[in-house]
Amino acid sequence: MKKLLLLTFIVSATFVSAQTNNKKISVIAYYAGDAQHIDAYPVEKLTHIIYSFCHLKGNQLNVDNKNDSLTIMHLVELKKRNPSLKIILSIGGWSGCEPCSLVFSTDVGRNEFAASVKHLNEYFKTDGIDIDWEYPAIEGYPGHRYTPEDKHNFTLLLQTLRNTLGKKYEISFAAGGFTKFLQQSIEWDKIVPFVDKVNLMTYDLVHGYSKVTGHHTPLYSTPQQLESTNNAVHYLDSIGFPKNKLVIGAAFYARIFDTDIDANNGLYQPGKFDRGFSWKDFDMDALQKEGYVYHWDDVAKAPYMYNAAKKKIITFDNERSITLKTKYAVDQKLNGIMFWQLADDKTKDGLLDALDKALHN
């Protein structure tokens, strides 16, 4: 009887430990869709939804229109389905932070912004702010202002937000997953006390302006491509940034590139970006009928497809790579995994389902 009780205790303790470990892993969805479509997604499998995007109006965080307000309010209502779910407001995006460098360069701008963030979170009953400024101190969206002072001003912005919001609200930011951003945009040693999470955009590592093809969201570097999820995590760990504040990124969309020559199944060749498309529109059978051949890069741990006749390569995340990224986040004791974006997923048997399965297997 004692042995049975001991065995029961061990099994129960193991189960509780597994549950606790899983709860430590954030599963964060950026969401740029509307109020209606999100109901079809398994939001019970998420810890956070980041509403994308609010914008600056003057020095203040602004919700653009009635539809955006309705969407945010509906996201908050999803807590009835998932009581532990947190809804985060976000500012910026690739083209959405044009005034950020100027506004965040002054105490007045930072203070007014932080006050507006607190006001909107209180009004909507949301749970924090995510800053998606692409990028402080280095060139981002063409024509947007950037200055060397952005780097320190970003630290002051996070400090002002924390002083204004206190501990009640979460503060995170979307960080470029590439080396130049990691080395030049952020005062990593100074921001630690102010942020809960850093959402590493370890996707678009080969992007719309790239002139050489490659994996846009690989887990590991290859001899031909340094930029990867592991490269970003390793760099930040090497300079002492706490890994338990790092969230790695996955892509719920694919990118197609044209290659100049037919070589190496399209990888690491001169070429240019053609277009992107959502995972929900990814049809393996149709692509294979068009002449695309599926490949798996076992070094990068990344899938891709190549059409030799058309000289086109598709780079993406799939169920296999998402599973490996999720297990990497757990094994490395990171804060979690996030993705852009939920509305790109399939509503059933999608990449979020694969991610959740990886967490619980």
Indicate which residues carry an active-site annotation: 134
Whether the CB-CB separation of 45 and 354 falls below 8 Å is answered with no
Only one residue has tokens 């950026």, namely 30
Strand order in the sheet with 312-315: 271-278, 253-259, 312-315, 302-307, 293-297
Q: Which two tokens stand for residue 71?
A: 């969407």
DSSP letters, 176-236, are E-SHHHHHHT--HHHHGGG-SEEEEE-S-SS-TT-SB---SS-SS-BTTB--SHHHHHHHH
- Output the CA–CA distances (angstroms, integers) from residue 285 to 116, 252, 267, in the order listed: 49, 19, 22
Rounded (10°) angle between helices 319-331 and 229-238 = 10
- Cβ atoms within 10 A of the Cβ of 223, count? 7
Q: Which two tokens stand for residue 313?
A: 């390569």
* β-strand pairing of 253-259 with 312-315: antiparallel
Whether the CB-CB separation of 322 and 351 falls below 8 Å is answered with yes
Question: Under DSSP, is residue 250 helix (H, G, I), strand (E, B) or coil?
Answer: strand
Q: Residue 91 carries which side chain, given as an amino acid letter? A: I
Phi, psi values for residue 60, rounded to 5°: -115, 150
Q: What is the dihedral of CA 10, 14, 20, 25, to 10 degrees?
A: 170
Q: How far apart are CA 313 and CA 287, in angstroms?
A: 11
Whether the CB-CB separation of 147 and 106 falls below 8 Å is answered with no
Question: Under DSSP, is residue 56 helix (H, G, I), strand (E, B) or coil?
Answer: strand
